[in-house]
Amino acid sequence: MTNSTAPSRTRVWLEPLAIIAFVMVVYPLLIQITYSNWLPHIGLAFAMLWILAGRLRVWVVIAFILARMNGAWINWTFFPHKYGYDYPPGILSWRVTLNADWVTVVLGQLDILCALLGVLYLQYRKVRPDQLGETVGMVQLHVAALITAVLGGLKDTFYVLYVHDPLLPHVFSVFFGHFIGVMLVAPLAAMLIERIYRNGLSDVLAEAVLWMFPITAVLLSSASAIGGDGGEILRRLLLVGVVVMAIRHGWRGAAISLAIVSVGLQVEALYDRGLQSTVVIQSFVSVAGVMGLLFGTARDELVGQRIQLEGELQDNRELRSQLVSAAFNAQKVEVGERRELALELHDEFGQSLTALQAYLRVAKQNGSMPPFDTLQSLTDQMRNNIQGVLERLRPSVLDEVGLFAAIDRGAVRGVANAAGLEFTTEMQGDARLLSHLADTQELMMYRIVQEAVTNIVRHSGATECSVRLRLSERSGQLWLFADVRDNGVGRVHMLTQGNGLRNLRQRLLAIGGVWHWSELNPGLRMHLLLRQDLGGVATIVE
């Protein structure tokens, strides 16, 4: 017991520690690249909360709160001149936190709450990371990103009003920064985590590195050199690259190319202070991202639908081939049965008729009557032969009492009782629909049940056998189900169908029936479905 629980307890402690360590290291580094057009640490928080569901979400929140309170130590240690801090290198930011007023401290910790509320929306909509390949999933991700962005903008609006600093452009920048951070990082994280998205990912990355990266570098370098409206036009051309990657590789291509474009704009903003306002750059990235990701998702869905359609067409071709083969085999079986009946009539009935004619000819020549017992025996034999042939063509009990009663009180029960089986039958649904059952379906169902019970008697070693019929009307069609099960020792992989079952299955497929075997514990279960129009015309079951 100790060995089985020790790994789980270890994991319970290691996972939170790993999350805190990861965030404490990565968060300060991401802060260094939040200069203008994105807030990747918000996207990281959102992605971790979305992917690490359940109890780990609490630790993600704790980790980002700690990182936010303690995140300046890297800035002060490695970038003291950039931020103008006069604290000794390496000092923790707790001094700043303790010296700040409570409103500033609380507002500084609300970014993680904004991301959490966006993730909770996705949880409410039941959107998982593996659903980004669907348009609905991608749209809901953008709605969650918008929720996170609106809450982040409202938070900073309150702060602007609190400090009486008219920095409304800063509020818009925060809004776009939150939105872009989620829109960039969350798809990339899902792409790396979900196995279904990693298939073929190397090809997407290779094309992005070989084409999108150099094109982005050339366009942005030229834009910085030209400047003005010409430079802005060159930057807008980057949207074409995002769309092309979306066309070629779906939303994954759009996400990777959008990340390359955003990084390029970030680098350009770091070295060119003469660019247009941050909000203009952010709006461009937002529009490009939304268009590229949604367009890529729509492309993926179309490709998936095409593949599915091709698969269905292939299945239809195989089904049509099976139906043609089944119809041909059923016709061969029918011809064979007719030949057997003809031979039986010729051999047995013909012999009896020949003997009767011989007796009558001798009696006529001798002028005497043949023995009555002899004539009676010949006529009984002829009648039995005729009756046997007629029963093989169509059991009279079906016309006399109907399908269910024929199974419950006819030859099927007789075979089961003779073998010592406990045989039970049950009729479910609307029994009045039996009168609408076509002769072909009725005879087919009777024959299959009869053959199945015979196989149980011969091969299963069962002590119990049950037959359940169910009739229902669905969309103007009559659905007939049969369930035959036993408690024997049979297994599906051991099931061998003799000529009787094989021939019946071919005929069943030819009229659109479905036949399925499954294992019980113990025993086997045969599930049979026939479907026909209420007018009596059988239809194919898809």
Over residues 496-520, the pLDDT tens digits come to 555 456 666 666 776 677 777 788 7
Rounded Cα distance between 103 and 93, Å, is 17
Q: How confident is the model over 367-406, as pLDDT tens digits?
A: 666 666 666 666 766 666 665 565 566 677 777 778 888 8
For 503-517, letters b (16+ CB in 10 Å) and e give bbbbbbbbbbbebee
**Predicted local confidence at residue 356, as pLDDT:** 66
Q: Which of 58-67, 138-147, 157-166 has the highest mean pLDDT?
A: 138-147
Using the predicted structure, report yes or no on whether residue 462 has a pLDDT greater than 50: yes
Q: How confident is the model over 258-309, as pLDDT tens digits?
A: 899 888 887 777 676 555 456 677 787 888 889 899 999 999 988 888 888 8
Nearest to 378 by CA among 341, 344, 351: 351
**Residue tagged 């990084």 (tokens):** 263
**Predicted local confidence at residue 283, as pLDDT:** 80
- What average pLDDT score do residues 407-412 get? 85
Q: Let me know: does 107 contact 161? Beta carbons within 8 Å.
A: no
Tokens (6 digits) for 143: 């709605």
Using the predicted structure, report yes or no on whether residue 97 has a pLDDT greater than 60: no
Using the predicted structure, report yes or no on whether residue 536 has a pLDDT greater than 60: no
Using the predicted structure, report yes or no on whether residue 352 has a pLDDT greater than 70: no
Q: Let me know: does 465 contact 484? Beta carbons within 8 Å.
A: yes
Using pLDDT thresholds of 50, 70 and 90, give the confidence band for residue 346: low
Using the predicted structure, report yes or no on whether residue 73 has a pLDDT greater than 80: no
Q: What is the DSSP letter of 129?
A: G
DSSP-assigned letters across all residues of 166-183: --HHHHHHHHHHHHHHHH
**Predicted local confidence at residue 102, as pLDDT:** 61
Residue type, 527: H
Rounded Cα distance between 38 and 278, Å, is 10
DSSP-assigned letters across all residues of 478-522: EEEEEEEEE-SS--GGG----HHHHHHHHHHHHTT-EEEEEE-SS
Query: Of residues 23 and 90, which shows the higher confidence score?
Result: 23
Using the predicted structure, report yes or no on whether residue 226 has a pLDDT greater than 70: yes
Using the predicted structure, report yes or no on whether residue 366 has a pLDDT greater than 80: no
**Predicted local confidence at residue 497, as pLDDT:** 53
Q: Let me know: does 176 contact 283? Beta carbons within 8 Å.
A: yes
Residue 436 contacts by C-beta under 8 Å, 6 or more apart in sequence? 478, 534, 536
Using the predicted structure, report yes or no on whether residue 246 has a pLDDT greater than 80: yes
User: Nearest-5° angle of CA 100, CA 106, CA 108?
Assistant: 80
Hey, how many other C-beta atoms are within 10 angstroms of the C-beta on 73? 17
Using the predicted structure, report yes or no on whether residue 119 has a pLDDT greater than 90: yes
Sheet strands side by side (includes 422-429): 422-429, 464-474, 477-486, 524-533, 514-519
Using pLDDT thresholds of 50, 70 and 90, give the confidence band for residue 14: confident
**Predicted local confidence at residue 494, as pLDDT:** 59
Mean pLDDT (the chain, rounded): 77
Of the listed ranges 52-66, 164-178, 426-440, the one predicted with least confidence: 164-178
**Predicted local confidence at residue 541, as pLDDT:** 38
Nearest to 417 by CA among 449, 458, 472, 457: 457
Rounded Cα distance between 177 and 183, Å, is 10
Rounded Cα distance between 93 and 107, Å, is 16
Hey, how many other C-beta atoms are within 10 angstroms of the C-beta on 356? 17
Cis peptide before 522 (omega within 30 of 0): yes
Nearest to 195 by CA among 254, 145, 251, 130: 130
Rounded Cα distance between 481 and 433, Å, is 13
Hey, how many other C-beta atoms are within 10 angstroms of the C-beta on 244? 18
Residue 40 contacts by C-beta under 8 Å, 6 or more apart in sequence? 30, 33, 34, 181, 184, 185
Query: Which stretches does DSSP call E strand in 375-513?
Result: 422-429, 464-474, 477-486
Using the predicted structure, report yes or no on whether residue 91 has a pLDDT greater than 50: no
Query: Of residues 231 and 539, which shows the higher confidence score?
Result: 231
Residue type, 378: L
**Predicted local confidence at residue 139, as pLDDT:** 93
Residue 64 contacts by C-beta under 8 Å, 6 or more apart in sequence? 23, 27, 45, 111, 112
**Residue tagged 């009946």 (tokens):** 341
**Predicted local confidence at residue 539, as pLDDT:** 42
Tokens (6 digits) for 41: 């640490």
**Predicted local confidence at residue 43, as pLDDT:** 92
Using the predicted structure, report yes or no on whether residue 324 has a pLDDT greater than 80: no
Using the predicted structure, report yes or no on whether residue 317 has a pLDDT greater than 80: no
**Predicted local confidence at residue 538, as pLDDT:** 45
Residue 195 contacts by C-beta under 8 Å, 6 or more apart in sequence? none
Using the predicted structure, report yes or no on whether residue 487 has a pLDDT greater than 80: yes
Of the listed ranges 111-120, 192-201, 525-534, the one predicted with least confidence: 525-534
Q: Distance of alpha carbon 300 from its chain centroid, rounded?
A: 15
The sign of the dihedral angle between the CA atoms of 321, 323, 324, 326 is positive
Q: What is the DSSP letter of 533?
A: E
Report the half-sphere exposure of 126 (CA within 13 A, side-chain side): 0
Using pLDDT thresholds of 50, 70 and 90, give the confidence band for residue 122: very high
Tokens (6 digits) for 343: 């031979």
- What average pLDDT score do residues 222-226 get? 84
**Predicted local confidence at residue 2, as pLDDT:** 44
Portion of the chain with pLDDT greater than 70, in percent = 68
Q: Let me know: does 260 contact 188? Beta carbons within 8 Å.
A: no
- What average pLDDT score do residues 423-433 get? 87
- What average pLDDT score do residues 244-271 get? 86
**Predicted local confidence at residue 322, as pLDDT:** 66
Tokens (6 digits) for 506: 């071919």
Q: Which of 35-39, 375-379, 415-419 has the highest mean pLDDT?
A: 415-419
What backbone torsions phi and psi does residue 206 show, to the nearest 5 degrees?
Answer: -60, -45
3-class secondary-structure state, position 426 = strand
Q: What is the DSSP letter of 422?
A: E
**Predicted local confidence at residue 266, as pLDDT:** 77
Of the listed ranges 124-128, 201-205, 356-360, 422-426, the one predicted with least confidence: 356-360
Using the predicted structure, report yes or no on whether residue 408 has a pLDDT greater than 90: no
